[in-house]
Each structure stands twice: as C-alpha cells, then as structure tokens.
Structure 1
Amino acid sequence: MFSSYLIFFSPLLYMVNEALARPQSYAVWAADSAIKRGQGNGLSSAGTPSASYEHGELQWGLRQLYERTGNKTYYDYIVTGASRIVTDAGVVQGGYKLADYSLDPVRTGPTFLYLYSQTQQTKWKTAATTYRNQLNGQPRTGEGQFWHKLRYFNQGWLDGIYMGDVFYAQYTKDFQPTNTTAWDDIAMQYTLIYKNTLQAAGAPNNIGLLYHGYDYSHTAVWASTDRGHSPEIWDRALGWYTMALVDVLEIFPTTNSGYKSILSILQALAPKIRDAADPTTGVWWLVMTQPGRAKNYFESSGSAMFVYSLLKGVRLGYIKDTDGSIVKAAKKAYNYMVANWVITNTDGTMNWINTVEVGSLSGNGTYDYYVSVGTVLNDLKGLAAFLLASLEYERL
C-alpha cells in the first residue's frame, strides 16, 4: 500500500520538482546556462578566437541583462569574449578577413562600440573602425544594396541587415551623428531589401512577408524572373530582419526621413507576422510559405526573434497594438516556447531545442533544402534569441 501511494503521487512530485528547477527569470536562466557551457565566449568550438555573429547576438542580450540586473558577471563575460578577438592594438582577429567582405563578423561591432562607451579604451574604437572601413568598400548592387559576402555575387540577404546595419547606425550615431549621407545609406539598405524581397500580391502561398534574399543580377539558380528573389520565406532570415528593424529605430535620428521609412516597414510587417503564426501553437514554421507541408516543423530561433521584435516594437510605441492582438500572439508563442523548447538539466542549466543549424542561399534555395538541414541542441542563434525574447516578455 505504501509503494502504491508513492507510485500514485510520483508524477505530481516530478511536476513540483520541475517547477522548482525553473527560476523566475528565463532570461537569467538562458544567459547563465550559456555562460556555464562557455558559449559566446569569443572562442570557436576548437578553442581558437572567433569573430562570430552568434557571439555578437548573445552579447547584445547579456548587455541588456547586465543593465537590468546590475550583475557584473554578464558585463565581464562580454569583455572576456570580445578581448579574445580584439588585440590590445585594436586588431580584429578570430578569422576576420577584410578581403572576404562578409557582413557576418560585423555583428560583433556593436559590442566593440558598447565597450568603448563604457571604458574609452582606444582599442575598441579602432576595432569598430575596421568594420566601418569595410562598409566603405563593401560590394554593392547597382541600386546600392550591400552584397552579403563577396562570394555571393550581387546578392542581398535579410540576414545581412542584422549583421551589418545596426552596427552601421550605432557607429554613425557615436562618431558621425551629422553624417546625413550615412544615415540615408542605412535607411536605403532597409528599404531596398524590403522592396526586392516582399511577396507580390499574386505570389503563390502569399502571406505578405519577405523572401530570404534576392540576386540583383538574376544569375543565381534560385533567382525569380521579376526581382531575382529566392523562392521561400525562411523564418530566421525574416527574424534577423525584424530584430534589425526594432533595434535600429532606437538608434536612428527621428528627424531623418529614413526613420519614417524604416518605421513604416515594421508597422507593415508586424500584423502579417502575427497572422502567419500557427493558430494552434502560436509559433512559426521553418518555411513560412509552406505551413503543414511534410517535413516542415515549428522552428525555435525564428519564433523567438519574432516574439522579441513584436514585444519590443509595441513597448517602444513603434507598433500600434490597439486591440492587444499582437502582444497576445507574442505571449502565446512565448508560452509555447517555454513549455516545449526549454529543457531542464540535472546540473541546473537549461537546454534549448529545435533551432535549425543554418540556412543559406549558396545552393538552390528550395523547400527541400531548408527542411533537409538538421537542428542543433543549444544552438546559440536560437538560445540568444530566446534570451532576448525573455527580456521583453519579462518587461510586460
């Protein structure tokens, strides 16, 4: 009889233990878990310095968490990670090569600017200026869009806006605030990618959102005949772009006409992102243009990015949510995320699941390509996005 009593109540005991294991702040839990695993610490998995955009994304979240909590652990972790890729002379190492003209490493630039603002150490400004000088020579399409990388001929990707243009804006604000040419150029990066990747009204599977990228030269195997855009809407690419929208609006001068252009894009996309969520779970499909299709699945990094962007946009007044439906949708998605994608470990850390490893336009850009890429446990692109989403959710 005693053993039956234990068996009967063991599920309840498990649920109690599970609840106790989860701290009040998922933002803190995500950050502490990443730090305990040594993620985003300026080193690659092989232990060599790495100028990684994933690290830059995490550092963006750690910076906000430090500002919210005052816990210097987060600030010190940023300093340690950034110091591994910037020498005392301000040289950017960690695999960075100017000749690649890749926008990806530039995502670590906001960290350099932040550390310069905190310390006034010249090395951080020198390192940031290295990236700013890269943008001066970055290859462009005939309209002026930055190529994502030199090896992607004439291609603009949504990802690249997050990687390069938030830094571009912060550098301009910090050191060249009256440089209207730079501000106009930044706004143009946002508007060109929007114009060239927005689904046309009569497009198949039209949800009014943005394709992953476009090829201005129309030479890529995936380029459409009209604007050269890729064939599918990949959730994380759109997630990078929406985060870049809400982040840059905090930096961009409101007196510049480009501010209204960027704001109008965010306001146009927000309700369409809300409406594209799965009605049952509230989260978003990996390939958003093909909901429910075989092999498609709910993907965690893009979903977290949308929650962050929608909640931050409403909080700062960029997105008008008169009926509360956007916040309601973001909360529903967030609750699904913590219930399904956050896993408690016995050492007190959390795992994050269902983040797709990569998405690229280096191949054919088809549906079959996107769904063929595997997911990675604790992939930092997703875990950092969850940290950011949690910061916004906890501000509600």
Structure 2
Amino acid sequence: MLLPLLLSSLLAHISVAVARPQSYAVWAADSAIKRGQGNGLDSSGKPTVSYEHGELQWGLRQLYEKTGNKTYYDYIVSAANRIVDVNGVIASAYKPADYSLDPVRTGPTFLYLYSQTKQAKWKTAADAFRGQLNGQPRTGEGQFWHKLRYYNQGWLDGIYMGDIFYAQYTKDFQSTNTTAWSDIASQFTLIYKNTLQKPGSANYTGLLYHGYDYSHTAVWASPDRGHCPEIWDRALGWFFMALVDILDIFPKTHSGYASIQNILKDLAPHLRDAADPQTGVWWLVMTQPGRAKNYFESSGAAMFVYSLLKGVRLGYIPDADGSIVKAAKKAYQYIVANWVIANSDGTMNWMNTVEVGSLSGNGTFEYYVGVPLVVNDLKGLAAFLLASLEYERL
C-alpha cells in the first residue's frame, strides 16, 4: 500500500506544479478577481473606499495595458462604480472630516477612468479628494498628517496613499502649478529627513523609520526628530513604490524631480544590503534581523522587488554592477517558492502578509510581531501582482 500512496502523492504534487500559469501576474490578478477582491465592497457587501483596492486597481491597469485583456479594465470600472455614484459623489464610507490619507489611494483610479471615458463623475470624485488635501492638517514644516487623529504625525504609508494622486491630479489639471509640485516634492523630502536612520544607530540600515511625530508627544517619539523606534517593512515598501511611481508623473524640469530621485538612489543600495543573505528577502522588523519572533514578511518583499526592478528598468536607480537586479530576482524567486500556493480551483493563495501596522500604540518590536498574518491579504497580493509585472518584463 505504501508505494501506491507515495505515487499518488507525487502525481498530485506534479499536477499542481504544472498547473501554474506562465504569468504569475495574470495568476495573481485572476485569483483576486475570482474571489471578488478589490471590487469596491467590503466583506459584508457594503461600499468601501479602500487603499488596498486602489493598489490592486493600479496593478490591473498595468496588466490591461500589457495584455489588452479588457476583463481587467472592466473590473476596475465595476469596482469604481460601486463607490462613486452617477453624480460623482463618493460613497459614505469615505469620511472627509477624518482627513485620512488612506482612501485617497483610490483617487488614481478616478483620474485614470476620467482620462479613458471623460465622464464628469470621475473628475467630480477626484475633485473631492483634491479638496481634502487643501485642508489636510500639516506639521509646522508642512508635512501632511497621516490622519486627523494622529496629531502631527507623518507616516511613510501616507506618501503612497496621498501623493501619487496629488501628483497625477496636478499633471492632469494644473500642470503649471509650481506651488503644488513643490509641495509634493516637500512631502517626500520632509518624511525622508525626519525618518532616516542615522549612522551609529543600533542595528543601522540606512533606511527609514515607519513615521515621526513632529510634536514629540507620542509615547514612541525619539528625542531628536520624534521618529518611532523601528523600521517596518511594509511602511518602507509603500514609500519605495511611491518613489518609483511618482517619477513617472513628476516634471523633470522641476527641481523636486532630482530631489525625489536622489532619495531613491540613496535608499536603494541600503535596501539591497538589508536583505537576508540566505533567503534574499526582508524581515518584518528590519531593525531587528534574526531576533526571536521576527519573520520574513511577504507584502514588503513584493513591494521592494517591484520598486527595485522598476527603478532600474526606467533608469531611476543606477545599477552598473547588476547587484540590485540580482538581489530583486533572488527575492522574487524566494517569494514564488514559499508564498505562492496553488489551489485545486486554479487560483493561487498568497501567504505571509501581516494584517496591519500602525503607530497608534507604542510602536515596539513586540507590537509589530504580534499582529496576525492573513492568507490572501490584498495589500500583499496586489504588491505581488506588481512585482510579477516587473519580473516578467525582464
């Protein structure tokens, strides 16, 4: 009996292995769509204005442009129609008075659909987000607060959530607004200045802490610049994706372009060097590599692969010796070998993405490693779609 069982197990493994499609980007997208992820609705079927959905739609848009498969475009339209009515009013799940940057991440979808259809509703919806940014609370230096309830706090996450939209809106409707372009560049340079880990710090990486409190009143704020104590991989991942995406939009003739690119060029080699030497991927808490309870986290890894490969491909990141692309490829190969699981229905499961990370508490190592992992978390799955698009361009 043992031999038939072994053969059966081996054949089952082989059948799953060969079921994997040629494109992981397509597989990730099709799996998300089959599960109804990123469709404009929350788990209870109510409209939700979600940055995760905006992130997925960014990937679906690129996949549509690459493949011409209108399924991806239609899915974006369907999802966006669930949160914007015929008059351009955004669903009530969006609370402008919260001054949260998170929902603004759906704004690039509105701008994209306006560019494709010229339907006024999408411009009206985008105007609502642009209006929020006009009143967004700021630190004394001009950094957007991440949310109204996070007093005087700038987070890396918020750059991705708010400033890609801010830049695209400016390009589309106010391209000569040099004040806006300078403000966008300032969002990047301020967060960089206030969160950059300095040489001589314990567990030095040369990368960026999750966020900072300009008022120094948060329990975690450091005495010098008010930054939090740890470097969390996904926050840094959001920022890296913002760096490479903003340079597609930002005018090269404005001095802010060079400022943003210089940040990217400074950080990229440090990110390469922060990868675990054996696996090639990155720790959840990057300032505590190898510490008990720390682990390799998938959403940050996928974001880093996307950012490094795109940055090199477009010439934003110099890579004369090929070491950055080599590091990104090694990480991607670990990702597909360990975090992509084939299902019997032809979809894939995505593993090892941490559910959330916040500076609402004490910002400690124990907090970050205590947050649960979620299977098929869209923040990670969408990042894997983006990473796969770049890897497949190689």
* Common fold: TM-score over 0.5: yes
Alpha-carbon offset, residue 382 of structure 1: 0.2
Within-5 A mapping of 1:114-129: 114-129=112-127
Q: What corresponds to 1:302 in structure 2?
A: 300
Q: What corresponds to 1:175 in structure 2?
A: 173
* Among 28, 48, 70, the residue aligned to 2:26: 28
Query: Contact 1:211/1:234 (CA < 8 Å) preserved in 2?
Result: yes
Q: What corresponds to 1:63 in structure 2?
A: 61
Alpha-carbon offset, residue 14 of structure 1: 3.5
Q: What corresponds to 1:231 in structure 2?
A: 229
Q: Given the alignment of the two structures, is residue 76 of structure 1 paired with residue 55 of structure 2, yes or no? A: no
Matched to 1:330, the amino acid is A
State the secondary structure of the residue aligned to 2:83: coil
Query: Contact 2:16/2:344 (CA < 8 Å) preserved in 1?
Result: no
Query: Contact 1:48/1:94 (CA < 8 Å) preserved in 2?
Result: no
Alpha-carbon offset, residue 19 of structure 1: 2.3
Q: What corresponds to 1:328 in structure 2?
A: 326
Q: What corresponds to 1:365 in structure 2?
A: 363
Alpha-carbon offset, residue 18 of structure 1: 2.3
How far, CA to CA, are the matches of 1:224 and 1:356 in structure 2? 25
Alpha-carbon offset, residue 171 of structure 1: 0.2
Matched to 2:233, the amino acid is D
Q: Which runs of 5+ in 1 are unaligned?
A: none
Q: What corresponds to 1:154 in structure 2?
A: 152
How many pairs align?
394
Alpha-carbon offset, residue 97 of structure 1: 1.1
TM-score by length of 1: 0.98
Encode CA deviations 1:107-127: one digit per residue, 9 max, x unaligned: 000000000000000000000
How far, CA to CA, are the matches of 2:267 and 2:318 in structure 1? 12
Q: Given the alignment of the two structures, is residue 202 of structure 1 paired with residue 192 of structure 2, yes or no? A: no
Q: What corresponds to 2:256 in structure 1?
A: 258
Q: Given the alignment of the two structures, is residue 13 of structure 1 paired with residue 4 of structure 2, yes or no? A: no
Alpha-carbon offset, residue 9 of structure 1: 4.2
State the secondary structure of the residue aligned to 2:349: strand
How far, CA to CA, are the matches of 2:160 and 2:25 in structure 1? 21
How far, CA to CA, are the matches of 1:368 and 1:238 in structure 2? 19
Alpha-carbon offset, residue 202 of structure 1: 1.6
Matched to 1:356, the amino acid is V
How far, CA to CA, are the matches of 1:22 and 1:283 in structure 2? 22
Alpha-carbon offset, residue 16 of structure 1: 2.5
* Among 377, 381, 384, the residue aligned to 2:379: 381
Q: Given the alignment of the two structures, is residue 88 of structure 1 paired with residue 86 of structure 2, yes or no? A: yes
How far, CA to CA, are the matches of 1:243 and 1:202 in structure 2? 27
Q: What corresponds to 1:130 in structure 2?
A: 128
Q: What corresponds to 1:289 in structure 2?
A: 287
How far, CA to CA, are the matches of 2:99 and 2:169 in structure 1? 18
Query: Contact 1:42/1:50 (CA < 8 Å) preserved in 2?
Result: yes
Alpha-carbon offset, residue 104 of structure 1: 0.2
Q: 1:29 to 1:308 in 2, by over 3 A?
A: same
Q: What corresponds to 1:243 in structure 2?
A: 241
Q: Which runs of 5+ in 2 are unaligned?
A: none
CA RMSD of aligned residues (A): 1.0
Q: 1:27 to 1:248 in 2, by over 3 A?
A: same
Query: Contact 1:232/1:289 (CA < 8 Å) preserved in 2?
Result: yes
